[in-house]
Structure 1
Amino acid sequence: MNRITATYDIESPVGVQRAAEVLAGEQSTGTFTRLAAETDALRERSAARIENIEITGTSSTPSLPSRKTGETYERGTVTISWSLDNFGTSLPTLMSTLAGNLFELAELSAIRLVDMQLPSAFATDHPGPQFGAQGTRDFMDGHQGPVIGTIIKPSVGLNPSETAALVQTLVDAGIDFIKDDELQANGAHCPFAERVQEVTRVLNAHADKTGKRVMYAFNVTDEIDQMWRNLDVLEAHGGTCAMVCMSSVGLTGLRALRNRSPMTIHGHRAGWGIYSRSPDIGISFPVMQKLWRLAGADHLHVNGLANKFTETDDVIAQSATSVQSPVCDSGPAHLAMPVYSSGQTVWQIDPARSLLGNDDFIFCAGGGILSHPDGAGAGVIALRQAADAARNGIDIKEFARQHPELQAAVDTFSQPKIKLKRP
């Protein structure tokens, strides 16, 4: 396949067919009027093509404000394709083409990019995740099972020594993974270099004492040259994971980090609601995660089942499985590790694991660990016990009868209602 295809859910006051024609023209060879240089030969070579249209309904009112109006607003899905020769395998130009000016077209009263298929050239031309699940386990000295993690809370306000003291509590509790909050990067009250020094001192001492190497994702998000300096600081202190807010630094920033990173890259999707919250405009996670993986993210946040945000459980299921699916039909698969987070407790591990059919995920719980009635250590143990029950196909309530830490968690945390339409 030498063409890129993208599928959009659109609504239009001029009809889906006409809107698709405008979209294809705007995002390739056309503009508001036919140009003398836009020859038939040029159009045949470079114009976007309409591959498929399906009408799904009509409305008497527009879903989004639109300068063009009509008596009815027709809705449907359209699939458009572009020649790879238009822009090669450049990720920024791909974004400008598939998610650029088309979002502003007056002929569209709703538009959402819901799917994207890429030629294998993208998989071979981009580095993808450097370490993925197996590399993450190698940094953790061969850790088995799901990675049980948590987040530094309060998000901001702790100084480096206070952060290190909390890390000491967490590593003593048996945690596998800890991450900075996305709000904590290099502020005056908790400078990056000082935080790294204090925290890695705790992590390295713990590894020397117990043989267990806990992974800590330090938030390196900044300007590109400063992110590189942050990597140097991490490497000098034996760091194993750099966290980055992907939308904040963009695809180019993420790729620049990947090109210089000797450690895993933990991709945080802070700001994702801008793209995902409305059903009438935005980009679906299965599309965006392909680009983040191609640019080099090893871990990708996918939200969590029965979460505190707005995404449904079916959306979470689609997001989590997409991260473990090949990025293209052929070539390197570039698989990454999904990261579950947001209101997670012992109740969500079994369904989270069932979605994937494996243990190659990070399960981040804040209150689900720290609010255990018997302390953080019991909170970590309870999550491991819940994972063991899931792996062995044993009902969590039955397993809890023989495991007091899990029983206390079951009694403490309310069982959430997980609503999955998919099996």
Structure 2
Amino acid sequence: EENQYIAYVAYPLDLFEEGSVTNMFTSIVGNVFGFKALRALRLEDLRIPVAYTKTFQGPPHGIQVERDKLNKYGRPLLGCTIKPKLGLSAKNYGRAVYECLRGGLDFTKDDENVNSQPFMRWRDRFLFCVEALYKAQSETGEIKGHYLNATAGTCEEMMKRAVFARELGAPIVMHDYLTGGFTANTSLAHYCRDNGLLLHIHRAMHAVIDRQKNHGMHFRVLAKGLRMSGGDHIHAGTVVGKLEGERDITLGFVDLLRDDYIEKDRSRGIYFTQDWVSLPGVIPVASGGIHVWHMPALTEIFGDDAVLQFGGGTLGHPWGNAPGAVANRVALEACVKARNEGRDLAAEGNEIIREASKWSPELAAACEVWKEI
């Protein structure tokens, strides 16, 4: 557009504190966005030099370690956010977790605003969810996880919750990294690596910062910040579903999260070549308004190293939570099998789902519910 310019700015390395994402963002985007002389300003991308990257621990574990912990290979992982997110008692919440995991999901998730409210205090929720987890594990023979949201009002309280999750033997905790802050997030990531916990990151509040096209910063910058601060999963939009996301741009920052080395590619919004020098990768999470009919597209777009998260797409099943989970697992396995046989998921996706629904009544019922959307 007219009067729009791209500026490249370079900073000397010594201006930044080592291992502090907080200081990096304070220095780069701290004050300049408020200057009177500017009508609008947007940070599209930044290149983290190798020397600076090396001062960060990064994700607690990374993609390969997570697969080894879960013993799950060759397919995307399946998740589900427990709904209704606010209002259930801890026991009913735990029951929903059990049903979803028992039906065939790998993970269930606390919603980002489930912290410790009067109707469900965090300790009760943790206990019931971990009980559900162990029960589902023993019945399915698969390793299961529930993202226990450790986000809290103070860093000390957050760490207390993470410690309790570890004592219960939970495999994964969760944090809202933008509302919680990078300082808290980095502390939690260090604790998670030292204690064998995976860390799921929710990006609540990101759209306040990244949604305006002419002001703020692009999500890929926040994603880079997260990879440095530390997190094993992060929400990354869907390309399909209820939350916005353009395909090439989304895939651009999905690669930034997962790969060790990314070439500059302006068509995908990647302004700089980024070498992560063996910093572990982050698994992108696709969630928001997705259901079984989206499965072929999601499998094709995101590939194996992703978590596909169906909230209402699981719990909205007319027969209940467990059949909803079964429907999603069957759809996923059918898509992965078709892909491995060399079929074209983009062209034959609906046909693949229809074939699978012939022998899975749960999937057939799900296909019926979501066919119009």
1:66-116 CA deviation, whole Å, 9 max, x = no partner?
A: xxxxxxxx2111110011022243322210122111101122111110011
1:10-31 CA deviation, whole Å, 9 max, x = no partner?
A: xxxxxxxxxxxxxxxxxxxxxx
Opposite residue 12 of structure 2, the aligned amino acid is S
Once the two structures are overlaid, the 10-residue window that deviates more, 269-278 or 116-125, is 116-125
1:350-382 CA deviation, whole Å, 9 max, x = no partner?
A: 3233234x3111111012122234443343333
CA distance in 2 between counterparts of 1:82 and 1:173 reads 52
Which of residues 107, 120, 125 is equivalent to 1:190?
120
Residue 135 of structure 1 and its aligned partner are, at CA, apart by 2.6
Query: Which one has a bigger Cα radius of gyration?
Result: 1
1:277 partnered with 2:211: yes
CA distance in 2 between counterparts of 1:411 and 1:396 reads 16
Q: CA RMSD for the aligned pairs?
A: 2.1
Whether the 8 Å CA contact 1:389–1:396 is kept in 2: the answer is no
Opposite residue 200 of structure 1, the aligned amino acid is V
CA distance in 1 between counterparts of 2:276 and 2:184 reads 26
Opposite residue 237 of structure 1, the aligned amino acid is L
Structure 2 stretches of 5 or more lacking a match?
262-273
Structure 2 match to 1:390: 335
CA 1:122–1:270 in structure 2 vs 1: closer, same or farther (change >3 Å)?
same
Other structure's SS at 2:284 match: strand
Which of residues 286, 295, 299 is equivalent to 1:349?
295
CA 1:381–1:180 in structure 2 vs 1: closer, same or farther (change >3 Å)?
same
% identical equivalent positions: 26
Residue 173 of structure 1 and its aligned partner are, at CA, apart by 1.4
Q: How does 1:48-63 map to 2 (within 5 A)?
A: 57-58=1-2
Whether the 8 Å CA contact 2:96–2:321 is kept in 1: the answer is no
Structure showing greater relative contact order (alpha-carbon pairs closer than 8 Å, 6 or more residues apart): 2
Residue 141 of structure 1 and its aligned partner are, at CA, apart by 3.7
Whether the 8 Å CA contact 1:251–1:295 is kept in 2: the answer is yes
CA 1:320–1:82 in structure 2 vs 1: closer, same or farther (change >3 Å)?
same
Structure 1 residue ranges, 4+ long, deviating more than 4 angstroms after superposition: none
Structure 2 match to 1:75: 4
Whether the 8 Å CA contact 1:130–1:296 is kept in 2: the answer is yes
Superposition TM-score, scaled by structure 1 size: 0.76
Structure 2 match to 1:122: 52
CA 1:271–1:346 in structure 2 vs 1: closer, same or farther (change >3 Å)?
same
Matched length:
344
Structure with the bigger percentage of helix: 2
1:235 partnered with 2:188: no
Other structure's SS at 1:125 match: coil
Whether the 8 Å CA contact 1:137–1:144 is kept in 2: the answer is no
Other structure's SS at 1:200 match: helix
Superposition TM-score, scaled by structure 2 size: 0.86
Which of residues 368, 388, 397 is equivalent to 2:313?
368
Structure 2 match to 1:413: 370
1:331 partnered with 2:277: yes
Other structure's SS at 1:77 match: coil
CA 1:210–1:385 in structure 2 vs 1: closer, same or farther (change >3 Å)?
closer
Structure 2 match to 1:217: 147
Structure 2 match to 1:10: none
CA distance in 1 between counterparts of 2:236 and 2:93 reads 26
Structure 1 match to 2:226: 292
CA distance in 2 between counterparts of 1:337 and 1:376 reads 25
Structure 2 match to 1:172: 102
Whether the 8 Å CA contact 2:334–2:356 is kept in 1: the answer is no
Other structure's SS at 1:303 match: coil
Which of residues 181, 184, 191 is equivalent to 1:260?
191
Whether the 8 Å CA contact 1:123–1:332 is kept in 2: the answer is no
Other structure's SS at 1:78 match: coil
CA 1:400–1:134 in structure 2 vs 1: closer, same or farther (change >3 Å)?
same
Whether the 8 Å CA contact 1:92–1:252 is kept in 2: the answer is yes
Opposite residue 85 of structure 1, the aligned amino acid is D
Whether the 8 Å CA contact 1:305–1:344 is kept in 2: the answer is no
Which of residues 325, 329, 353 is equivalent to 1:400?
353
Which of residues 4, 7, 14 is equivalent to 1:85?
14
1:296-332 CA deviation, whole Å, 9 max, x = no partner?
A: 1110101222232344444433333332133742522
CA distance in 1 between counterparts of 2:128 and 2:58 reads 31
Structure 2 match to 1:199: 129
Whether the 8 Å CA contact 2:61–2:280 is kept in 1: the answer is no
